[in-house]
Amino acid sequence: MELKKAVIVANGGKEIAKKVAKDIDKYLRSHNVSSTIVVTDKETDFSCIDSKTNLLVSVGGDGTVLATARAVLEYGIPILAVNLGTFGYITEIGPNEWQEALDDIFEDKETISRRLTLKVIVSRGDKKVFKCFALNDAVVSSAGISRMVHLNLKINNTMAGQFRSDGLIISTPTGSTGYSLAAGGPILFNDMSAILVTSICPFTLSNRPLVVGSNDVVTINVPKGQRTDLLLTVDGQVKFEILEGDEVVVEKSRSRILLVNSRKRNQIEILRSKLNWSGGTFNA
């Protein structure tokens, strides 16, 4: 990877993130790399990210990566995700490992993980009223608390059924360790090409998580007669009000998010640590 221009995005809610971002900025500049620091807030401006940017360094946690992923998707810019706490599911690189990761990039030794992303479109009548991209998931649920919703699910052009539940989660393999996992969904390997549909607290016990191909199109129709307002949430950060009669279409995006891999640990090791698996040998 030729590295000439980098953008460092620091979690504005963590003082340590700002300090680490300054250290990274200084290191990059010492290697003749043009570097800009962006500190996140509720109205973060990512206009400094453009097609000339070679690398984005995310300093914070998984939430910081999700916020920046949408900003770099159209440019195909790799993300080096630095986690400041315990290792996140997306952020594999620790706070003392970023220099080694950057050295790998300078020496063309880095490896890149190409993560499937979702394109989410809401149609209202003949108009498309919302469009967004998701690295983790898109969730259609009640806007209130403990309210059941009725949603019709189609896979491609085939009706899969009407779901009575707290909502539906449509997730990527990357997002399978997020909200979907908490709702009872399976864990998918990051490099898989698949889309996961998980019902949240379904009223019918026969409803089970569904894994479909990456080329399949998932459509959620919102029938009339709902007893609550509905909300679409993308990556837990972008929200859009859903009305009765709306159609939410979720499919694979043409672009993928590029994440710089850690040489220190892989997905299994992260899962073992985060989920408190023993990871030891088994004696029969």
Write out the catalytic residue numbers. Answer: 62
SS3 content of the chain, % helix, strand, coil (to 5): 20, 35, 45
Q: Whose CA is closest to 114, among 52, 69, 169, 163?
A: 69
What is d(CA 96, CA 223) in angstroms, rounded to the nearest whole number?
Answer: 51
**Are 237 and 66 spatial neighbours (Cβ–Cβ below 8 Å)?**
yes
Assigned token pair, 111: 């490896």
What is d(CA 226, CA 231) in angstroms, rounded to the nearest whole number?
Answer: 12
Residues 6+ apart with CB under 8 A from 157: none
Using N-to-C axis directions, what is the helix angle for 15-30 and 98-106, rounded to 10°?
A: 30
CA distance to 36, 58, 90, 111, 176, per residue, from 142 (Å): 40, 31, 27, 40, 21
Partners of 114 in beta bridges: 258
What is d(CA 118, CA 100) in angstroms, rounded to the nearest whole number?
Answer: 31
**Are 60 and 11 spatial neighbours (Cβ–Cβ below 8 Å)?**
yes
What is d(CA 63, CA 83) in angstroms, rounded to the nearest whole number?
Answer: 10
Q: Judging by DSSP bridges, how do beta strands 5-10 and 34-39 pair with one another?
A: parallel
Place of tokens 């509905």: 230
CA dihedral 183, 134, 154, 151 (to 10 degrees): 50
